[in-house]
Structure 1
Amino acid sequence: MTRDKKSDLINTLSESFKESSGIVVSEFKGLSVKKLEELRKSAKDLDVKVQVVKNTLASLALKNAGIDGFVLKDTNIFIWGEQLNVTKVAAKFAENNDLFNIKSAHIDGEICGVEKVVALSKMPSRDELIAMLLQVWNAPIQNFTIGLNALKEKKEQTA
C-alpha cells in the first residue's frame, strides 16, 4: 500500500470514527472467510461498518479522532457505528463463534470491556421500544372492543 493510500485510509477512518458512537475491537484469528462474510452481512443490515485494519494505521486514525486508550495487539477487526447496533452485532457474533473474541470497546466516550458490550447488546433498540409503547397504548382499546364484542354476542344469544 502506498503512502498516499495509507494517509487516505487514515483520514477516512478518522472521520468515520469521529461520527460513530460505538467502536468495538475484536480478535478474529482463525475465522474462515465465510464466517467473516456473515459478520459483514449482519453488520450491513444494521448500518454498522466492519473492517480489518493494521494496528499502526488504526492507532493513527483513533488518535486523529480523539480516541485514546485502546491497546492494539495481534490481529484486530474493527466494528463501528451507532452504539447499540455495534454491540448487538459484536455480541451476537461472539456468542455464535468461539474464535471471535471481543477485546474492548469505545462507548459513550470511554473505553470499556466485554461486560458492558454484552449488557448493551441486550437492551432493546429504538424501534423495539416504540413497538412496546404502541402495544401498551393499544391494549386498552383492544380490551374495550373485545368486551363490546362479548356483550353483543351475549345479547344476541338471549334474544
Structure 2
Amino acid sequence: MNRTQKEEKVAALHESLKEAVLVIVAHQNGLSVGESTDLRRRMYQAGANFRVTKNRLARIALKGTRFEGLDDLFTGPTAVAFSEDPVAAAKVAVEFAKKNDKLTIVGGSLGDQKLDIAGVEALAKLPSLDELRGRLVGMIQTPATRIAGVVQAPAGQLARVFGAYARKDEAA
C-alpha cells in the first residue's frame, strides 16, 4: 500500500469515526474470510460497520475525534466496529464473540465515555433504538385503542337498545 492509499484509508476512517456514536475495539485472531464477511454482513444489517485496521493508521484516524482515548487499545491484530446507533455495534460484536473465539472484544467508547469489556457487554444487553421506538409507538397506540373502544361502546349499546325497541314494535 503506497502513501496516498494510506492517506485515503486514514481519511475515510477518520470521517466514519467523526460520525459514529459508538466504537468497539476488538482483536481478531485468525478470522477466516467467510467469518469476517459474515460479521461485516451482520454489522451492516444492524446499521454498523466493521473494519480490520492497521494499528498505526487507526491511531492517526482517531486524532481529532472524541475517541482519541482509545489509542492504547490498538495493539495486536485489531479490528474496529462503529455505529451511529449507541447499541447496534455492541450487540452484534458481543453476539459474534460469544459464538466465535477468534474475536475478542478489548473495549470501546460511547461518545466521550470509555468502556471496558463489561461496559460493552452491558451496552449490548440494552434494547436498540428501533426496539425502543417500537415500544414507544405501542405504548402510544394502546391508550388510543382503549379510548376508541370506550367511545364506541355506548354507541353500540344505544344501537342494540334501538334494535330491541324496533323488534318489539314489529312483534306487537
Which of structures 1 and 2 has the bigger CA Rg?
2
Aligned-residue Cα RMSD (Å) equals 2.4
> How many matched pairs?
153
Partner of 1:75: 77
Whether the 8 Å CA contact 2:50–2:81 is kept in 1: the answer is yes
Question: Does 2:101 correspond to 1:93?
Answer: no
Deviation at residue 30 of structure 1 after TM alignment = 2.1
1:69–1:42 distance in 2 versus 1, CA, 3 Å: closer
Matching of residues 76-155 of structure 1 within 5 Å: 76-82=78-84, 83-140=86-143, 145=149
Partner of 2:169: none
Deviation at residue 45 of structure 1 after TM alignment = 0.8
Partner of 1:31: 31
Deviation at residue 85 of structure 1 after TM alignment = 1.1
Moved more, 47-56 or 131-140: 131-140
The TM-score normalised by the length of structure 1 is 0.83
Deviation at residue 101 of structure 1 after TM alignment = 0.8
Percent identical: 29
- The alignment partner of 1:30 has SS state of coil
Deviation string for 1:14-36 (max 9, x for gaps)?
12111111111101102222111
Question: Does 2:12 correspond to 1:9?
Answer: no
Q: Which ranges in structure 1 are unaligned for 5 or more consecutive residues?
A: none
Deviation at residue 142 of structure 1 after TM alignment = 5.1
Q: Distance in 1 between matches of 2:62 and 2:137?
A: 40
Residue 108 of structure 2 aligns with an amino acid whose one-letter code is A
Deviation at residue 143 of structure 1 after TM alignment = 5.9
The TM-score normalised by the length of structure 2 is 0.77
1:55–1:7 distance in 2 versus 1, CA, 3 Å: same
Partner of 2:19: 19
